[in-house]
Structure 1
Amino acid sequence: MRLTDDEKAMLDGAEGPAVAAAMDLLVRYGEALDAERLCDTRNVAGTTTQPSPAKARLVAEGGWNRAFSVLSLDSDETLDIPDMKVPTCQLQQGFGPDSVGIAPYPREFVELQTQAEAFAGRRGVNILATCTPYQVGNLPVRGEHCAWMESSAVVYCNSVLGARTNCEGGASTGAASLTGKIPYWGNHCPENRFGTHLVRVEERVTSFLDWGLLGYFTGDLVQEGRPVVTGDLDRPDLVDLKHFGAASASSGGVEMYHIPGVTPEAPSLKEAFGGRRVPEPLVYGAAERRAVYETLNNQGTRTDVDFVLLGCPHASVDQIRAAARALEGRRLHSGTQLWIMAPRALKDVADRSGYTAVIEAAGGRVLVDSCPAMSRSAPPGTRVFATDSAKQAHYLPAILGIEAWFGTLEDCIDAAVTGRWGGELR
């Protein structure tokens, strides 16, 4: 790799051993990727505070410096970790103290995470604790080089915001936070951001459910490609686009998509493909819509629902408000729990707006910082859950060994109130 004089100085230890270890990791990482150089980043989103048995063992050995050195810098030595060099935020993590008694999450992990937040916060990590940092203050500008983890955040960052990031890991984000550098490859390069597949929508996409179905269809077909989506689409909002991206990153590995006239790097179909030949379309019609819906519901056999999960990716204020309105004057079934996952900052807004009170009066909960997939935690005894998230319907049955139903917000709220699944494709 070609390094600048400043980068060579960091590698040689001019800014201390931890920065040198970080730069060494980035050079090895970049060479493995065949990247020619590094690029500057001032926006890192990682998972420094997420608890794990390995992290607990390392903390017991040598404190949080030890854990960060091994897991985030790939160092055998215990290094003194300095302040983050560039703006860095914490993504979603485990359940915190305010979920004790609600989510069955190990108390030792809650304590470990509280310690981790203090360690990271003292070094300049913003504890946003959400998979949707763009909803709560971390909003990179078009063309900005970032170093983000979390597949649903990465696809939103590239596609909707027009910023640039690959799907990074704990080590690369840890190293980037101390150096302000990341390998220049993949989605950082303009030539790698043009469309690879054309998806033509012939069955109108109008709702949150439909954007999830379309995303799941698209990811399954294009895998790690960059789809360009055209056709019979109602104009999407933030919530629709985060559902579409999360679904396409779950069924496939989509890190960027274009919707001509909607997403910033696709003013037109021609520009979405960079002037290259437009490929033959992959058609999404009524039959495809029905097939995707059935795929997402083929893991449900029992109609009794123990658990309803909303807010994946983490809910917006509008989504929390919609759930509150659907629950107004109603009460959850005695055998069913409802969790709505949200960023802590947006739960505060929901609290002040009265939405949380309505949800709690019905028996539901608005929980923060985490989700059942991240924490591997659901209400005790859960056998069947319902969700409006294509991503959770995809992952949670495998993670927790439970059955899943997928449908609209209204279907899910009805299931929470009646204790039974009655959703159907309309």
Structure 2
Amino acid sequence: MRLTDEEKRMRDGAEGDAVAAAMDLLIRYGEALGAERLVETRNVAGTMTQPSPAKARLVAEGGWAKAYAVINLDSDEELDIPRMRVPTCQLQHGFSDDAEGLTGYRAESIELQGDAESYFSERGVNILATCTPYQVGNLPVRNEHCAWMESSAVVYANSVLGARTNCEGGASTGAAALTGKIPYWGLHLPENRFATHVVRADTRVEGFQDWGMFGYFVGEAVQEARPAVIGDLAQPDLAELKHFGAATATSGGVELYHLPGVTPEAPTLEAAFGGGPIPSELVYGEVERRAVYDTLNAQGDSEDVDFILLGCPHASLDQLAEIAFLLDGKRLHDGTRLWVMTPRALRTMADRNGYTRAITRAGGHVLTDSCPAMSRAAPPGTTVLATDSAKQAHYLPAILGIEAWFGTTAECVDAALTGRWRGELR
């Protein structure tokens, strides 16, 4: 791997042992990937503060410096962790104190997380604590090289914003934060960002539910490739694009899609393919739409719902407003629990606008920082989930051993109010 003089100095310890360990990791990582060089990044999104049994053990042995060295730098050395070299944010992590008493999530984990936030914020990490950092201040520009984790965040950054990142891990983001470097490979290279497949919707895709189902079909159809999607598509908004991208990354492994005329790198279908040949189209019609819906609802049997989860990826302010409107002046059914997940910064906005009040008066909870899939925790005794998220309908039955129903936001709110699942494909 070719290194600049600056990178060689970092590798050789001129900026301290922690930076040297970070550079050593990036060199090994890049060589394994076949990268010829590193590229500068000034935007890192990782997971430093998320509690786990392994982190708790390492913190007990040598503090957060020890935990960061082992988990984020792949080093067993005793390192003094300096301030992050470049802007770095923490993605979603464990449940915070606003969920205390609502789950079986350990109070010790909440305390450990608070300690981690203090340690890492002193070292320059912005504790955004959300899977949607682009909603609360971390908004990379087109062609900006980033080092991001979290599949739904990565696909949004690449596709909607036109930034450049691969789906990184805890070690590579930890090293990138201390060096401002990341291997130049994959989606950092312009030639690797052109579309590989065309998926055409022959049935109307409009609204939050349909964008999620279409995304689930696209991801399953192309797996880790780069689709260009065309056809009978309504103009999507922010929530629909994040929902679509999250679903493609869930059923497949999509990190970049093109929506000609909407996403920045595809003004036309021809541009999405870089002027190269355009392959035969994969078709999404009424039969495929029904098949996706049936797949997402194959994990539901009992129509008695006891847990409703909204906000995956974390809810936007408009989504919070919609949920508040649907619940205003009403009361949840006895025995049902409603959680709405959102970034803490947007929770503050929801408080100010009265959305939180409407949701909590109905008996629901607006929670921040995490989600049941990330923290592996739901209300005690949960057996049947209803959600408007294709991602959570896919993951939570396996993670928590529960049943799941997938439908519209309105159908999920209806389940919260009645305790019954009455959703159907329209």
Per-residue displacement from partner, 1:228-280 (whole Å, max 9, x unpaired)? 00010001010000000000000000000000000000000100011111000
Matches for 1:181-330 after TM superposition, within 5 Å: 181-330=181-330
Runs of 4+ in 1 over 2 A off after TM superposition: none
TM-aligned CA deviation for residue 348 of structure 1: 0.3
TM-aligned CA deviation for residue 102 of structure 1: 1.8
1:409 partnered with 2:404: no
Q: Give ranges in structure 1 of 5+ residues lacking alignment.
A: none
1:61 equivalent in structure 2: 61
TM-aligned CA deviation for residue 330 of structure 1: 1.1
* 3-state SS, counterpart of residue 245 of structure 1: helix
* 3-state SS, counterpart of residue 138 of structure 1: coil
1:366 equivalent in structure 2: 366
Distance across 2 between alignment mates of 1:29 and 1:241: 31
TM-aligned CA deviation for residue 98 of structure 1: 2.1
1:51 equivalent in structure 2: 51
Per-residue displacement from partner, 1:323-367 (whole Å, max 9, x unpaired)? 000011211011100000000000000000001000001000100
Supply the AA of the counterpart residue of 1:356.
Answer: T
Distance across 1 between alignment mates of 2:97 and 2:245: 31
Distance across 2 between alignment mates of 1:328 and 1:63: 46
2:421 equivalent in structure 1: 421
TM-aligned CA deviation for residue 400 of structure 1: 0.3
Residue pair 1:95, 1:103 contacting (<8 A) in 2 also: no
- TM-score, normalised on structure 1? 1.00
1:171 partnered with 2:171: yes
1:10 partnered with 2:10: yes
Per-residue displacement from partner, 1:132-168 (whole Å, max 9, x unpaired)? 0000000000000000000000000000000000000
TM-aligned CA deviation for residue 78 of structure 1: 1.8
* 3-state SS, counterpart of residue 283 of structure 1: strand
Distance across 1 between alignment mates of 2:329 and 2:412: 16
* 3-state SS, counterpart of residue 175 of structure 1: helix
Aligned-residue sequence identity (percent) comes to 73
Distance across 2 between alignment mates of 1:339 and 1:144: 35
Distance across 2 between alignment mates of 1:140 and 1:393: 29
Supply the AA of the counterpart residue of 2:394.
Answer: H
Aligned length: 426
TM-aligned CA deviation for residue 96 of structure 1: 1.1
1:103 partnered with 2:103: yes
Compute the RMSD of aligned alpha carbons.
0.5
Distance across 2 between alignment mates of 1:186 and 1:64: 32
Per-residue displacement from partner, 1:271-314 (whole Å, max 9, x unpaired)? 00111110000000011000000000000000000100000000
TM-aligned CA deviation for residue 88 of structure 1: 0.1
Moved more, 102-111 or 396-405: 102-111
Residue pair 1:154, 1:255 contacting (<8 A) in 2 also: yes
TM-aligned CA deviation for residue 185 of structure 1: 0.2
Distance across 2 between alignment mates of 1:103 and 1:88: 30
1:153 equivalent in structure 2: 153
1:32 equivalent in structure 2: 32
2:139 equivalent in structure 1: 139
Supply the AA of the counterpart residue of 1:384.
Answer: V
2:180 equivalent in structure 1: 180
Q: Give ranges in structure 2 of 5+ residues lacking alignment.
A: none
Distance across 2 between alignment mates of 1:65 and 1:349: 34
Distance across 1 between alignment mates of 2:65 and 2:397: 36
Distance across 2 between alignment mates of 1:104 and 1:126: 27
Distance across 1 between alignment mates of 2:138 and 2:5: 30
* 3-state SS, counterpart of residue 39 of structure 1: strand
Residue pair 1:335, 1:419 contacting (<8 A) in 2 also: yes
2:345 equivalent in structure 1: 345
